[in-house]
């Protein structure tokens, strides 16, 4: 935009007819009106030399002009605006097939926690590397108030997402730092019994089943239709999770077209369902098929939701949705899960970190205990043999104990040293 001022003093010089440099306090400064932002961009050129000031002024003008054309603001974005731009960029990755939609949802959740900590109106260009030193403490305190303590792995994943965003913002000149320096957390002991604690025992699964039968009882709980459908959908999600071992993203994005019912074989009339996982919904970006017993969960859910679809064909509609289009939310799943676990009176549920994903741990654990090979389980669950061995190493210990006690009831315990003096 051409300068309105056309007559300049001895210490004012126009730059490309759109900006001006001027002398103040012995040093030259730059000023340019930014129409899109409604403000003046001002900068000290840090020189007393007029010739140098003119050259610096031209360089800064060209930089500003190029950035303005590219849609970049001179003044700092807020943290909220920075998150919005980064998320919009990652949405392109979903369209390109570089990340799955579920991963984008996780990124949004991570950055929402960061906004709660840093403040939505905090300026990106005013942030320092040390501004997130107390992020872990904040997450523990906030989560504890909600009775959902964030574990260390969760916080580490959030920190990784936050720094990935800051790197992108820095590369796009929206921030002056490319990462935060989070406090170093204690090293995780991968050989603890966290998986053993966060899964369920068969007895607890029975208790959860009993709790579900109570929780979704419409008459007993005096539920209106909306709440009843909501509870039924969530409960079927958990029931199906326990018999399929699906990851959260894979299960939530299942479509009815991904399911195919077959009869049992080998003379056993057991209803089976073939589940096809599409590559775009898989965490490892690979499609797979596997067969599980139906237990009538899929069929009952289909009978429940089909009337809600009215005349539409169900094949391309989502399984875990009351209208076939809007997926059940993570928030809803966590809410209903908490109510069911409380009703089932699962012991030490908070310290054990039991979550809906615990059904996957239970599924894998039971398959291993029942004699399936690591290869079979890995193929069904879309992971590697190495990951199964590394994550579920405790199953080997449990199986060795079972083998050691296998002959206990028959009295075949080997040599027993008896205390003859007390006989």
Please give the pLDDT value at position 421.
43
Please give the pLDDT value at position 184.
85
Task: Compute mean pLDDT per 10 residues along the chain, 423 residues long, and list them.
Answer: 60 90 92 86 90 94 85 80 95 84 88 95 88 90 58 87 95 88 72 66 92 95 95 96 92 93 69 89 86 89 89 84 91 93 85 86 90 91 87 64 50 41 44
Q: For the CA atoms of 191, 197, 198, 202, what is the dihedral angle to 10 degrees? A: 130
Please give the pLDDT value at position 191.
47
Please give the pLDDT value at position 185.
79
Cβ neighbours of residue 146 closer than 8 Å, sequence gap 6 or more: none
Sketch the domain layout of the chain as residue ranges: 12-69, 79-171, 195-404
Separation of alpha carbons 319 and 332, rounded Å? 16
Six-digit token pair at 94?
């979903």
Residue count (the chain): 423
Please give the pLDDT value at position 169.
94
- State the pTM of this model: 0.59
Please check whether residue 31 is in contact with residue 74, taking contact to mean a CB–CB distance below 8 angstroms: no
Please give the pLDDT value at position 179.
94
Q: For residue range 203-259, list pLDDT tens digits in order.
A: 999 999 999 999 999 999 999 999 999 999 999 999 999 999 999 989 999 999 999
Please give the pLDDT value at position 404.
53
Please give the pLDDT value at position 396.
59
Please give the pLDDT value at position 418.
45
Please give the pLDDT value at position 68.
79
Six-digit token pair at 44?
């000290």
Please give the pLDDT value at position 35.
84
Q: For residue range 332-389, list pLDDT tens digits in order.
A: 999 999 999 999 998 877 677 788 999 999 999 889 888 899 999 999 999 999 888 8
CATH of 195-404, one of 1.10.580.10, 3.90.105.10, 1.10.20.10, 1.10.443.10: 1.10.443.10
């Amino acid at each position: 935009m051409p300068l309105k001022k056309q007559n300049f003093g001895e210490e004012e010089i126009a730059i490309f007819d759109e900006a001006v440099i001027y002398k103040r306090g012995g040093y030259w400064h730059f000023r340019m009106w930014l129409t899109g932002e409604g403000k003046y961009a001002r900068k000290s050129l840090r020189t007393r030399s007029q010739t140098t000031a003119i050259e610096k002024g031209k360089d800064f003008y060209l930089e500003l002009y190029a950035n303005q054309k590219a849609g970049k603001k001179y003044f700092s974005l807020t943290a909220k605006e920075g998150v919005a731009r980064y998320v919009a960029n990652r949405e392109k990755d979903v369209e390109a097939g570089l990340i799955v939609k579920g991963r984008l949802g996780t990124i949004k959740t991570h950055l929402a926690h960061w906004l709660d900590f840093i403040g939505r109106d905090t300026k990106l260009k005013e942030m320092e590397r040390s501004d997130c030193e107390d992020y872990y403490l904040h997450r523990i305190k906030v989560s504890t108030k909600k009775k959902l303590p964030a574990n260390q792995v969760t916080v580490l994943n959030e920190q990784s997402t936050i720094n990935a965003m800051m790197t992108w913002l820095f590369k796009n000149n929206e921030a002056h730092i490319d990462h935060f320096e989070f406090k170093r957390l204690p090293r995780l002991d991968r050989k603890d019994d966290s998986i053993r604690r966060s899964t369920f025992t068969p007895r607890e699964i029975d208790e959860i089943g009993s709790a579900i039968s109570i929780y979704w009882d419409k008459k007993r709980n005096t539920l209106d239709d909306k709440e009843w459908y909501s509870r039924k959908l969530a409960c079927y999600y958990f029931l199906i999770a326990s018999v399929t071992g699906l990851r959260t993203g894979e299960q939530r994005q299942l479509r009815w077209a991904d399911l195919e019912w077959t009869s049992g074989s080998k003379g056993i009339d057991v209803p089976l369902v073939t589940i096809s996982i599409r590559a775009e919904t898989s965490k490892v970006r690979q499609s797979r098929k596997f067969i599980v017993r139906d237990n009538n969960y899929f069929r009952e859910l289909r009978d429940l939701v089909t009337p809600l679809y009215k005349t539409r064909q169900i094949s391309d509609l989502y399984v875990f949705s009351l209208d076939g289009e809007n997926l059940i939310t993570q928030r809803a799943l966590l809410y209903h899960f908490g109510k069911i676990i409380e009703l089932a009176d699962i012991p030490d549920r908070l310290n054990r970190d039991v979550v809906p994903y615990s059904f996957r741990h239970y599924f894998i654990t039971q398959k291993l205990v029942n004699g399936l090979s690591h290869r079979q389980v890995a193929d069904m669950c879309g992971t590697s043999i190495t990951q199964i061995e590394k994550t579920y190493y405790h199953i080997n210990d449990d199986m060795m104990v079972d083998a050691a006690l296998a002959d206990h009831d028959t009295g075949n315990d080997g040599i027993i040293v008896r205390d003859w003096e007390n006989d």
